[in-house]
Amino acid sequence: MKWSEMSTEERDRLVYTKVMGNPEICKGKTTIRKCDTPSRKIGEIAFSYWVATCDSCKWEKTCGSPDDAPKEHAPWVDIPSYSTDMNAAWQIVEAGKFHSVELECYLPDITEPALYRCFILVVAEGQPYKQYASKTAQEAICLASLKARGVRVEP
């Protein structure tokens, strides 16, 4: 997969599941109910639709028929903006999932933009340092942590 082709939400969900260890699929039960919209004429129905809801999270989806309802869904949670917010990206560092995390800012020339490198050591898995460089510190942390978890992401 290509990081540059992913939306911010896709990037953050990838870090949320693969690095932070949260579930990809909600374990809740999906319930489907029919909703009728009354017409302006008394006693008539203008149209009907179906709504699928989860009993354990806030997920809800409108469907044309019960057959259109997804059988499973990703958990409906507020996922931190790991790839764009430094405070959220720092949660990866503070989570204690890696032996050590080093972040450095490299300024090749005063006329060029800074480059951030993140080095991650995973001792428990016998892996050497994994590193990634990016234009922002948040992306460097996200990409290095994904690499350390064995997730292959191209820039």
Q: In this structure, is residue 155 part of a structural domain?
A: no
Positive or negative: CA dihedral 60, 62, 65, 70: negative
Indicate the number of domains in the chain. 2
How do residues 94-150 score in pLDDT, each as one tens digit? Answer: 988 888 888 888 887 778 888 888 888 876 555 667 788 888 999 999 999 998 888
| pLDDT attached to residue 123 | 63
Q: CATH number of the domain that 120 lies in?
A: 3.30.2120.10
Enclosing domain of residue 134: 3-22+79-148
Residue 40 vs residue 61, higher pLDDT: 61
Positive or negative: CA dihedral 54, 88, 137, 99: negative
CA distances from 58 to 15, 75, 135 (A): 21, 8, 35
Q: In this structure, is residue 129 part of a structural domain?
A: yes
Q: Which helix (H) or strand (E) holds 11?
A: helix 8-14
| pLDDT attached to residue 90 | 94
The label of the residue with tokens 């942390």 reads 141
Query: Do 59 and 130 share a domain, yes or no?
Result: no
**Interacting residues of 80 by C-beta distance below 8 A, sequence separation 6+:** 12, 16, 88, 91
Pairing of strands 130-134, 115-121: antiparallel
| pLDDT attached to residue 142 | 94
Query: Do 18 and 38 share a domain, yes or no?
Result: no
| pLDDT attached to residue 125 | 57
| C-alpha dihedral, 135 to 141 to 144 to 149, nearest 10° | -150
What value, to the nearest 5°, has the Cα angle with vertex 33 and ends 29 and 34?
Answer: 165
Q: SS3 of 73, please?
A: coil
Mean pLDDT, residues 53-75 = 85
How many C-beta neighbours within 10 Å does residue 15 have? 28
DSSP for 122-146, please give it: -TTTT---EEEEESSHHHHHHHHHH
